[in-house]
Amino acid sequence: MRIDIITVLPEMIERTLNCSIIGRAQERGLLELRLHQLRDYSTDKWKRVDDYPFGGEPGMVMQIEPIDRIITELKSEREYDDVIYTSPDGQKFDQPMANELSLLSNIIILCGHYKGIDYRIREHLITREISIGDYVLTGGELAAAVMTDAIARLIPGVLNDAGSALSDTFQDNLLAPPIYTRPAEYKGWRVPDVLLSGHEANIAKWRMEQALERTKRLRPDLLED
């Protein structure tokens, strides 16, 4: 899968996504992540990509020209399944959306900044607007990094244990059950006996009960779906 991210702060995303599992996924060729400095597409001698809004609103707006230029260039090189804009008023990002996006071949993510982007970009160039939550960040870079991480770990081969992503919290609208490792007892705090029993059916039943109980207690909204 290839993800092209358009941003004025590529270094902010690079540091996050070039290490650990997602960094290794890139080294192994499972994820091709390309970061594009939007300022390189500005014709302004100061490399500016924003301007004052029409109508006298406070704040600055990202201009259409540099964004159109880079998106047009990328689209001339390959087909893109989606051109995503990160915005607090977009559709809320969740696990089903990460699953869906991980099946695509090529996506562009445009990171918003300042007061936002010229609305014509949203009308004519963007195919999907995504928010990572009901709060406002200083820019879309962290949102793009969060989405890329959640999407990329679902690409086959990225996680060592193929079953691991399937048992994640949210994959079946349930929170994951508790997990433990050695020692079986620490300061008198014991791992549940059933997990040490080796009885697979009982362990599976216990896990399901725990997942349901935790979901009911902590995220009852997930069970309403």
Residue 132 assigned to a binding site: yes
Among 64, 68, 77, 63, CA closest to 34: 77
Which of residues 80 and 85 has its CB atom nearest to ligand ADE in the complex? 85
**Closest to ligand ADE by CB, 63 or 87:** 87
User: Is 112 marked as binding a ligand?
Assistant: yes
3-state DSSP of 90-159: EEECCHHHHHHHHCCCEEEEEECCCCCECHHHHHHCCCEEEECCCCCCCCCHHHHHHHHHHHHCCCCCCC
Tokens of 53: 């809004």
Q: Of residues 92-151, which lie at the interface with ligand ADE (CB under 6 A)?
A: 112, 131-133, 135-137, 140, 143
Q: Alpha-carbon distance 159 to 61, whole Å?
A: 39
Binding mask 28-67 for ligand ADE (x = CB under 6 A): ----------------------------------------
State how beta strands 2-7 and 128-131 pair.
unpaired
Tell me if 133 is assigned to a ligand binding site: yes
- Which residue has its beta carbon closest to ligand ADE? 143
What is the rounded distance in angstroms from the CA atom of residue 109 to the CA atom of residue 6? 6
Shortest separation between residue 94's beta carbon and ligand ADE, angstroms: 12
The answer on whether 52 is annotated among ligand-binding residues is no
Interaction mask 64-93, ligand ADE, x per CB under 6 A: ----------------------xxx-----
Q: Residues comprising the binding site for S-adenosyl-L-methionine?
A: 112, 132-137
Site residues, ligand ADE (CB under 6 A): 86-88, 112, 131-133, 135-137, 140, 143
